[in-house]
Structure 1
């Protein structure tokens, strides 16, 4: 999985789950259809746009490839119409966000590495890709971004990016190892939420 169709599929899956996460948050805020679609679009593609600008891939894929925008909008509209069937919206948002975090960490780091970005920089790009969508979603829905709170969020993404960089260095950046890395990031994020792990904060 060093480019081509598998990477595209993983990227579009990440777009869909982050769009669903953003749309679910917008539904919880009782936004209208356009608002839900807009928040879903921004949540799905915000991190990827940041990534592409940083690595010099312009115009960003969000604008250059229609499949990204269509995937984000379709997933958002689907959540808008199907949200009564979703069990406990808040929990759904968190699980979808964790899945998006895992997928976008992997694809963002891998794209940066393939663009020739050194390993340390590629890890930072991967983290930025992963947290950019959630950051945009939270800002648009009036929430304090999760990445700025005590929850373990960006740290998980950064750790996953390091794992992807190691796999790439060992020439193991293939479908199954990278899928396992994305799953591990997702599980760690969900487990951190369940166990209420948090980063230290300054004592007043």
Structure 2
């Protein structure tokens, strides 16, 4: 029972990531004046796309989001919830980007841990962690007619990469996976939110 506790916590963290990513997708749908079906589609795609790409690339077939109906059901619930109660989220500053930052941190960290568990090298584990974190947001932005935030000059994929590196450092130091995952997710979320409020950005071409 005790040995299963960290696995359960990691699964719970992943579900939190699915929910907050789904909320960011649904809020983008509300802002784009989509109907309830469009909002749910954006919620689901944002929540599961990055994880599906990661699982396909590491050979975890079928992907977790397809094999386990809970992930899609949670994303659908988040979409419906936002449809009816989006005014609650409108009180927040940058609601889409805040929930996106939380999902980015969680998926980058858990994606790195899962890639390590499948025996990938640290470098490729970090790459797949970044893909897991940014994939859903990229599709969300494309479907809503916007340039994906990862392609702009904002601190986004780089924040995810630094979170992944922290997860790798924890693995190298043989820290418990739960602790390194939480630390990596927290670092990514901190860097992304600071970039939002402090207007940090990467250099642009002149």
Same fold (TM over 0.5): yes
Distance 1:46 1:3, change over 3 A: farther
Instruction: Find out whether 1:43 has 2:40 as its counterpart.
Output: no
Q: In the aligned structure 1, how far is the partner of 2:138 from the partner of 2:33? A: 19
TM-score (norm 1): 0.95
Q: CA-atom RMSD, angstroms?
A: 1.6
For residues 70-111 of structure 1, give each alpha carbon's deviation from its aligned partner in whole angstroms, at most 9, with x where no partner exists. 111111111111102223476111110110011011100000
Partner of 1:133: 136
For residues 18-51 of structure 1, give each alpha carbon's deviation from its aligned partner in whole angstroms, at most 9, with x where no partner exists. 0000000000001001100000000000100010
Partner of 2:103: 100
Partner of 1:118: 121
Instruction: Find out whether 1:142 has 2:113 as its counterpart.
Output: no
Q: CA deviation at 1:133?
A: 0.9
Contact 1:28 1:89 in 2 (8 A): no
3-state DSSP of counterpart to 2:90: coil
Q: CA deviation at 1:176?
A: 3.6
Runs of 4+ in 1 over 3 A off after TM superposition: none
Partner of 1:34: 37
Q: CA deviation at 1:202?
A: 1.6
- Structure 1 gap ranges (5+): none
Contact 1:164 1:173 in 2 (8 A): no
- Structure 2 gap ranges (5+): none
Partner of 1:15: 18
Q: In the aligned structure 2, how far is the partner of 1:144 from the partner of 1:66? A: 30
The aligned length equals 203
Contact 2:113 2:181 in 1 (8 A): no
Partner of 2:78: 75
Contact 1:152 1:199 in 2 (8 A): yes
For residues 116-135 of structure 1, give each alpha carbon's deviation from its aligned partner in whole angstroms, at most 9, with x where no partner exists. 01000000000000000110
Q: In the aligned structure 2, how far is the partner of 1:174 from the partner of 1:59? A: 24
Q: In the aligned structure 1, how far is the partner of 2:169 from the partner of 2:113? A: 11
